[in-house]
Amino acid sequence: MNAQDEELEPLSDLATSAFSAERARASRGNSAARAAEVERILGRVMVTVGAGVATTAALAAASGTAKAAATAGGTATAAGGTAAAAVTSALSVKVVVGIAALAFAAGTGTGVVIQRSATPPAPTAAPTALPSAPASEPALLAHSRSISPSAPASDAALPTSLPALPFAPTAAPSTSATDSDLAAERALIDRARSALARGDVSACLDATSAHAKRFPAGRLGEERELIAIQALAKDNQLAVARARANRFRKNYPKSMFLPAVDRIVPPQE
Amino acid sequence: MSAALRITAFRAIYDANVDYVQATLRRLGVSAAETEDVTHDVFVAVFRHLEDYDPARPLRPWLFGFAYRVALDHRRLARHRSEGNAPTDAEMKDDAPLPDELVEEERARILCQRGLDALDFDKRTVLVMFEIEGRTAQEIADHFSIPLNTAYSRIRLARAEFERHIRKYGAPR
């Protein structure tokens, strides 16, 4: 910290809550769809860097370790220790041990490690984690056998993803329908917002219509309407924007966005 | 280092940080539809530069450097590209708070994104580093290779602009 930090004016409450909500975002991925996405990206990266099939066995070993550490979900030292042990047994290169230990430490330290293990974590998971890890390897090795004979070294012939990677969760943890609805709502609103930000009015309005259609009583309706009104105004569809603004005032008389709506489409006397 | 070892190290980094990298990319303005491709690009770069990592230093700022550079390149290329239709944001809630709190947080988060959207890339980066990641002004100065005083004035400017924009979108109830 620097003395000049104190000279910065404090943030408004609104900005403080906006930043703190955004800070809370990183630790959220835990659905089956999310786990599949994470595995898919990893598979693509491995194919791109040419580490596809030839090194699958190493990947299995690494993931077994990662899985054990994730399942244990214990302290950073425990996870780092597991990683370090596995790495040193393979080859003692100090740098790698450092990287692996740090990666785990960073993850567990900030709560970002996703519980991606096949067995749901339990309070007693730590001691049983290691024995369960090798169980995932046959599946992965079988997968590697199925694709390796035809494509020994060519990246081009590899699939673009590795669907049978280990430690995909058997099921998403109990997330209620409302939570997944909200995530879906957010995805649509995000799409509308980023389209508007880059000036693509029609993509923005497509997304707001999709949201309105799918979530007529959605919880982010105010956000949707504000974004749509802005897009319409930007597109010079002033009559439609006005009608929509009037409906907004009627539907959300206490909305925090009223001043914004009034600025875009001033209320008529 | 051997291929197997690289993968061991890489996998550990990937598993523990893919969420962080994706969140960072979104914060830096990469759209939901393009996050997967850009994440791929970031981790390919990470894989290829594993040897450059100094384990004595924290990992996340090192990863941020990759995310920043790839997002910057992507931004230059992506000007005219339009977004795909399917929402790809597969994030779901864990440890969900009560629904009302959730909605409030969601709103605040959208507000944050909109405020960031209104900034240019440098100011956006400054706020992501300072306000969201909690990095110091000195780190920002190092990141942009600018004097510390300049870093402070960029923080001030970025904050003021952010405040102005979010006030435009949402007034306190």
Whole-model pTM over 0.90 = no
Asked if the C-beta of A219 comes within 8 angstroms of chain B's C-beta atoms, the answer is yes
Integer angstrom CA distances of residue A49 from A44, B2, B40, B47, B109: 9, 14, 10, 8, 35
- Name the residue among A25, A49, A87 with its Cβ closest to that of B44: A49
Query: What pLDDT shows up at residue A47?
Result: 85
Stretch A211-219: mean pLDDT: 88
Q: Is A147 exposed, middle or buried (0-12, 13-18, 19+ CB in 10 A)?
A: middle
Percent of chain A with pLDDT over 70: 49
One DSSP character per residue, B50-102 reads: GGG--TTS-HHHHHHHHHHHHHHHHHHHHTT----SS-------SS---HHHH
pLDDT tens-digit readout, A24-43: 875 555 677 888 888 889 98
Q: How far is A249 from chain B (nearest CA, A)?
A: 14
- Name the residue among A31, A63, A200 with its Cβ closest to that of B11: A63
- Name the residue among A14, A36, A189 with its Cβ closest to that of B166: A14
Judging contacts by C-beta atoms under 8 Å, the chain B residues touching residue A80 are: none
Query: What pLDDT shows up at residue A151?
Result: 35
Higher local confidence (pLDDT), B116 or A265: B116
Stretch A248-264: mean pLDDT: 84
Asked if the C-beta of B161 comes within 8 angstroms of chain A's C-beta atoms, the answer is no
Q: Which residue of A has its CA nearest to B118?
A: A197
Query: What pLDDT shows up at residue A121?
Result: 37
Judging contacts by C-beta atoms under 8 Å, the chain B residues touching residue A2 are: 136-138, 148
Best mutation site among A117, A176, A190, A227 for testing chain B: the one with the most B CBs within 10 Å?
A: A190
- Tell me which DSSP letter residue B131 carries: I
Stretch A98-107: mean pLDDT: 48
The pLDDT tens digits along chain B (173 residues) read 677 888 888 999 999 999 999 999 999 999 888 899 999 999 999 999 998 888 888 999 999 999 999 999 888 876 534 443 333 333 333 344 556 777 888 888 889 999 999 999 999 999 999 999 999 999 999 999 999 999 999 999 999 999 999 988 765 44
Judging contacts by C-beta atoms under 8 Å, the chain A residues touching residue B92 are: 28-31, 33-34, 172, 175, 179-180, 183
Sign of CA dihedral A223, A226, A229, A233: negative
Best mutation site among B11, B54, B131 for testing chain A: the one with the most A CBs within 10 Å?
A: B11
How far apart, in whole angstroms, are the C-alpha atoms of residue A161 and residue A158? 8
Query: What pLDDT shows up at residue A98?
Result: 52
Judging contacts by C-beta atoms under 8 Å, the chain A residues touching residue B81 are: none
Judging contacts by C-beta atoms under 8 Å, the chain B residues touching residue A100 are: 8-9, 12-13
pLDDT tens-digit readout, A124-177: 333 333 333 333 333 333 333 333 333 333 333 333 333 333 333 333 344 455
CA atoms within 13 A on the CB side of B160: 8
One DSSP character per residue, A88-146 reads: HHH---HHHHHHHHHHHHHHHHHT------SSPP-TTHHHHHHHHGGGGHHHHHHHHHH
The alpha carbon torsion through B138, B142, B148, B149 (nearest 10 deg) reads -120
Decide if pLDDT at A23 tops 80. Answer: yes
Which residue has tokens 């999310």?
Answer: A34
**Closest by Cα among A13, A228, A213, A61 to B163:** A13
B135-142 contacts at long range (C-beta below 8 A, 24 or more positions apart): B135/B61, B136/A1, B136/A2, B137/A2, B137/A4, B137/A5, B138/A2, B139/B61
Decide if pLDDT at A77 tops 80. Answer: no
Q: Which of A9-18, A23-32, A80-89, B4-13 has the largest mean confidence?
A: A9-18
Q: Classify A42 as helix, strand or coil.
A: helix
pLDDT tens-digit readout, A216-248: 888 888 889 999 999 998 888 888 888 899 999
Decide if pLDDT at A184 tops 50. Answer: yes
Query: What pLDDT shows up at residue A183?
Result: 81
With an 8 Å Cβ cutoff, are B32 and A190 in contact? yes
- Name the residue among B32, B114, B127 with its Cβ closest to that of A191: B32
With an 8 Å Cβ cutoff, are B44 and A93 in contact? no
With an 8 Å Cβ cutoff, are B110 and A70 in contact? no
Angle at B63 between CA B60 and CA B69, to 5 degrees: 140
Residues 6+ apart with CB under 8 A from B142: none
Integer angstrom CA distances of residue A29 from A44, A194, A195, B71, B122: 19, 21, 24, 21, 28
Asked if the C-beta of B109 comes within 8 angstroms of chain A's C-beta atoms, the answer is yes
